[in-house]
Amino acid sequence: MTLVVQKFGGSSVADVERIRNVAKIIIREKNQGHQVVVVVSAMGKTTDSLISLAKQICPFPSEREMDMLVSTGEQVSVSLLAMALHAEGVDAVSFTGAQVGIKTDSFHTKARILEIKGENIFKALKKNNVVIIAGFQGIDANNNITTLGRGGSDTTAVAIAAAIKADVCDIYTDVDGVFTADPRIVPEAFKLPTITYDEMLELAAAGAKVMHGRSIEFAKKYHVIVQVRSSFEPDKIGTFIQEEGENMENPVITGITSNKNEAKISILGVPDKPGIAAQIFTMLANNNLNIDVIIQNASEQGMTDISCTIPREDLRKGISTSEKIVRELGARGFSYDEKIAKISIIGVGMKSNCGVAAVMFKAMADNKINIRMISTSEIKVSIVIDLEQADTAVRALHKAFRLNEPTMREKPVSCAKKKKAKKK
Amino acid sequence: MTLVVQKFGGSSVADVERIRNVAKIIIREKNQGHQVVVVVSAMGKTTDSLISLAKQICPFPSEREMDMLVSTGEQVSVSLLAMALHAEGVDAVSFTGAQVGIKTDSFHTKARILEIKGENIFKALKKNNVVIIAGFQGIDANNNITTLGRGGSDTTAVAIAAAIKADVCDIYTDVDGVFTADPRIVPEAFKLPTITYDEMLELAAAGAKVMHGRSIEFAKKYHVIVQVRSSFEPDKIGTFIQEEGENMENPVITGITSNKNEAKISILGVPDKPGIAAQIFTMLANNNLNIDVIIQNASEQGMTDISCTIPREDLRKGISTSEKIVRELGARGFSYDEKIAKISIIGVGMKSNCGVAAVMFKAMADNKINIRMISTSEIKVSIVIDLEQADTAVRALHKAFRLNEPTMREKPVSCAKKKKAKKK
């Protein structure tokens, strides 16, 4: 018997009709003889409405109380989904994160899962139930309700799949799978049949909204096979996220993403001495700020500028922390810019191919796009540019890397730095 | 230091503005040097909207899942109220029923509180917090979320007050206190300064919506002094519900109520043998039906008719149970009537006064109102009449017992059956 975890996001359960549709997808899976555990997000824009309600009452509400508030969204959708299954004569039981023992740390609104006790899930499965679990939420050591941050339902699904050793974790969403670029920006973008954890991780970090980064880390760590697929067209096979296969001919570039949700902060005129960067980033980390791209300009006359990007929603926290950094380290000042976008190209094939960055930078130059920051990893190159040029950049790159010509993807350009002999 | 429990109903927290108003009432209490524990219902019509959402999905949803669903309503309001206090610089922390250990039995949608562990409440009070607790909900032995039934937030408040030995339990509502009759039906009705637990219990059982019956039982059992007062005019003293004072000169009639939420069921042609009533009411009880008035007609030719009233919302359950009763006991059939009203007169003074029922029945006769069932207790007389005559009956009784003449209430008519010598 196959054990399947299915995850449905907010848009898949946005109204009564869609909840019924999700019930049908679940029932079809169950009728194939599988055991089904379902993780659900809050209905449609519920979480956003709750946040806006909170902000009417208190402009910067306590994070503990925010978790208490927004976790109700998933509790509503799990119970309604259980009822929709009952209406079709299928046994089902819903659980909150707390009820299935999803233990997290105490970083409210950004908690991390520490442990999941699968006990209640197995008990309910044994009674022939579809088990429906509220995504996005858990409970800390003091029984406070925590949430995993936006998109955390993916993490719940993969973590549950790992805990109960599910055969596959199907992430149902409003797209068919993982595309070479956002089809709304690049109409000729196409769906990838498979992608490696590392590529998907970089795609998520780079701003692809299809899955939450932490969930992919979990999947990679516990070898959970994930399928990203459409809840509107459940017959279509989606994109499988899995280990890099030995026989896989890796395309140079798998995908291109733009992230329009970051802001840039620069600490100006910092005394340039050893340990200063560590001090700055420790202070930022202590304020629970997720730093992304970091650059440090060449030092002049004992002073240096250090810039980084952070999620735009954390800008306020970033500014107050920067004020503190300037004061404590005797820097000259700081500046920030909200109107930036980060464009990334990702591909495992990059490891064995060179000239990728050069192609990227040339495409930018050809389109008169000024590059303001650069950051690279083994399988990714990211650049920060002006927000308003983001879509132009993505289209230019999709064309430059000939992603719209699938046959081209099979022929990576080899170069002197090539690490591995390619297998045919 | 005084320890006060305050309870705010759904209309008191219906929107952001009202939540802020509740925060002000709490802060005023706290500024007087008191420790404050607050119990809150769901915002306005939230519970009703959730129920209607559920019924769109499944006409008769599972009660476990209903509890899972509707309990989110209070979780939203407690977190928002905590934020409203934070916005005013007051420390506050919110808890679900489960988090403060409100243990109940497993009768979903109608659970009873078994135990409350006050530990977390005292811990939070020690840290100078206002403690805000979700009303209406608890958790059973298997960690399933339960609810106490409509109006259950009153029960939560009184049970919490009993558990933490609070000095007073203030029930804030949209009326100033307990009136001799519903002022919307009888404009000359007036507010009672005090009322005994027994009278309030009968009033609640008789359909007065000001407080939930079970909460008054709790208050009586644990000697919790309850004040019913207005959240819109928090300066006004309300009505105190307390033990019958030794020196209290009890008025004959304290209040008149009408209950328009019941339905009548009659089992017809039941074989009249010992134990048959027990069998019928055991079957009704096993289906968790709250029976109110019961009458059995005189037996003829070995057959009898047995009638009872039940909450109208349970009529469907009542009908299916009646079908079973008819089948199993070999009765002739059953009938039901939704268009009934129960009118009750209540007063501790009734114990030492006679002729009360006669005055009641004469008032009905004078108004051409046909009495269909009668039920009495030591301090109450209830009659069941046609629904459309309910308001006329209440007004006639308010007049007949001269409740609009406060001085008259001080002079109960003594009679031969009087049990106690009255004290001056």
DSSP of A93-160? EEE-TTTTTEEE-S-TTS--EEEE--HHHHHHHHTTPEEEEETTEEE-TTS-EEE--TTHHHHHHHHH
With an 8 Å Cβ cutoff, are A65 and B75 in contact? no
Q: How far apart are CA A190 and CA A410, in angstroms?
A: 14
Angle of helix B315-329 versus helix B276-286 axis, rounded to 10:
140
% of chain A at pLDDT higher than 90: 62
Q: CA A194 → CA A8, A175, A181, A229, B399, distances in Å?
A: 20, 15, 15, 12, 82
CB within 8 Å of chain A, chain B residues 97-116: 98-99
The answer to whether the beta carbons of residues B308 and B275 sit under 8 Å apart is no
Q: How many CB atoms lie within 10 A of CB A223?
A: 11
Dmax over Cα atoms in chain A, in whole Å? Answer: 76
What ipTM did this prediction achieve?
0.76
% of chain B at pLDDT higher than 70: 93
Query: How far apart are the CA of A76 and the nearest CA of chain B, in angstroms?
Result: 5
Domains within chain B, CATH numbers bracketed:
3-174 (3.40.1160.10), 247-424 (3.30.2130.10)
The answer to whether the beta carbons of residues A380 and A202 sit under 8 Å apart is yes
- Long-range Cβ pairs for the range A301-304 (8 Å, 24+): A302/A271, A302/A272, A303/A269, A303/A270, A303/A271, A303/A272, A303/A332, A304/A269, A304/A270, A304/A272, A304/A276
SS3 label, residue A414: coil
Helix residue spans in B32-90 (DSSP H): 46-57, 63-87
Q: How far apart are CA A408 and CA A251, in angstroms?
A: 9
Tokens of A114: 């520490």
In this predicted structure, the answer to whether residue B64 has a pLDDT above a threshold of 80 is: yes
Residue of A46, A34, A32 whose CA lies nearest to A1: A34
Residue B322 — very low, low, confident or very high, per pLDDT cuts 50/70/90? very high
Residue B181 has what DSSP assignment? S
In this predicted structure, the answer to whether residue A301 has a pLDDT above a threshold of 50 is: yes
The answer to whether the beta carbons of residues B41 and B136 sit under 8 Å apart is yes
Is A26's Cβ below 8 Å from some Cβ in B?
A: no
Burial of B95 (0-12, 13-18, 19+ CB in 10 A): buried
With an 8 Å Cβ cutoff, are A84 and B145 in contact? no
With an 8 Å Cβ cutoff, are A75 and B78 in contact? no
Is A61's Cβ below 8 Å from some Cβ in B?
A: yes
Beta-bridge partners for B270? B304
Tokens of A19: 């909840």
Q: How far apart are CA B117 and CA B124, in angstroms?
A: 13
What is the CA angle A153-A155-A156, rounded to 5?
60
Is A367's Cβ below 8 Å from some Cβ in B?
A: no
Q: How far apart are CA A153 and CA A87, in angstroms?
A: 25
Tokens of B383: 């009659």
Mean pLDDT, rounded, for B176-188:
90
Is A351's Cβ below 8 Å from some Cβ in B?
A: no
**Highest mean pLDDT pick, A302-306, A389-393, B233-237:** A389-393
Residue of B165, B65, B94 whose CA lies nearest to A58: B94
- Which residue among B54, B98, B145 places its CB closest to the CB of A83? B54
Query: How far apart are the CA of B130 and the nearest CA of chain A, in angstroms?
Result: 14
Is A13's Cβ below 8 Å from some Cβ in B?
A: no
- Which residue among B19, B59, B68 places its CB closest to the CB of A57? B19
Q: Which residue of B has its CA nearest to A66?
A: B79
In this predicted structure, the answer to whether residue B278 has a pLDDT above a threshold of 90 is: no
The residue among B250 and A223 whose pLDDT is bigger is: A223
Q: How far apart are CA A397 and CA A311, in angstroms?
A: 24
Summarised one tens digit per residue, pLDDT across range B97-126 is 999 999 999 999 999 999 998 899 999 999
Residue of A89, A257, A274, A253 whose CA lies nearest to A184: A257
Summarised one tens digit per residue, pLDDT across range A15-52 is 999 999 999 999 999 999 999 999 999 999 999 999 99
CB within 8 Å of chain A, chain B residues 141-160: 143-145
Tokens of A69: 């508030």
In total, chain A counts a number of residues equal to 424
Residues of B in contact with A62 (CB under 8 A): 82-83, 86
The answer to whether the beta carbons of residues B280 and B346 sit under 8 Å apart is no
Summarised one tens digit per residue, pLDDT across range B363-393 is 999 999 999 888 888 888 999 999 999 999 9
Q: CA B377 → CA A182, B198, B201, B203, distances in Å?
A: 74, 11, 12, 12
Q: Which residue of B has its CA nearest to A144?
A: B99
In this predicted structure, the answer to whether residue A401 has a pLDDT above a threshold of 60 is: yes
Angle of helix B213-221 versus helix B152-163 axis, rounded to 10:
10
In this predicted structure, the answer to whether residue B411 has a pLDDT above a threshold of 60 is: no
Residue A11 has what DSSP assignment? G
Summarised one tens digit per residue, pLDDT across range B5-50 is 999 999 899 999 999 999 999 999 999 999 999 999 999 999 999 9
% of chain A at pLDDT higher than 70: 93
In total, chain B counts a number of residues equal to 424
Is B63's Cβ below 8 Å from some Cβ in A?
A: no
Summarised one tens digit per residue, pLDDT across range B154-176 is 999 999 999 999 999 999 988 88
Question: Which of A55, A76, A130 to probe by mutation at the B interface, max B CB count within 10 Å?
Answer: A76
Q: How far apart are CA A412 and CA A417, in angstroms?
A: 13
Is B52's Cβ below 8 Å from some Cβ in A?
A: no
Residues of B in contact with A68 (CB under 8 A): 75, 78-79, 82, 94, 96
Query: How far apart are the CA of B72 and the nearest CA of chain A, in angstroms?
Result: 5
β-pair type (A226-230, A239-242): antiparallel
In this predicted structure, the answer to whether residue B408 has a pLDDT above a threshold of 60 is: no
pTM of the model: 0.77
Beta-bridge partners for A310? A263
Q: Which residue of B has its CA nearest to A70?
A: B76
- Which residue among B58, B76, B82 places its CB closest to the CB of A72? B76
Q: How far apart are CA A102 and CA A97, in angstroms?
A: 5
Question: Which of B17, B63, B76 to probe by mutation at the A interface, max A CB count within 10 Å?
Answer: B76
- Which residue among A56, A86, A144 places its CB closest to the CB of B16? A56
Residues of B in contact with A64 (CB under 8 A): 93
Mean pLDDT, rounded, for B174-188:
89
Q: Return the number of CB contacts < 8 Å for A and B.
A: 101
Question: Which of B68, B96, B136 to probe by mutation at the A interface, max A CB count within 10 Å?
Answer: B68
A251: left (phi over 0), alpha (psi -120 to 50) or beta: beta
Q: How far apart are CA A207 and CA A111, in angstroms?
A: 20
Burial of B391 (0-12, 13-18, 19+ CB in 10 A): middle
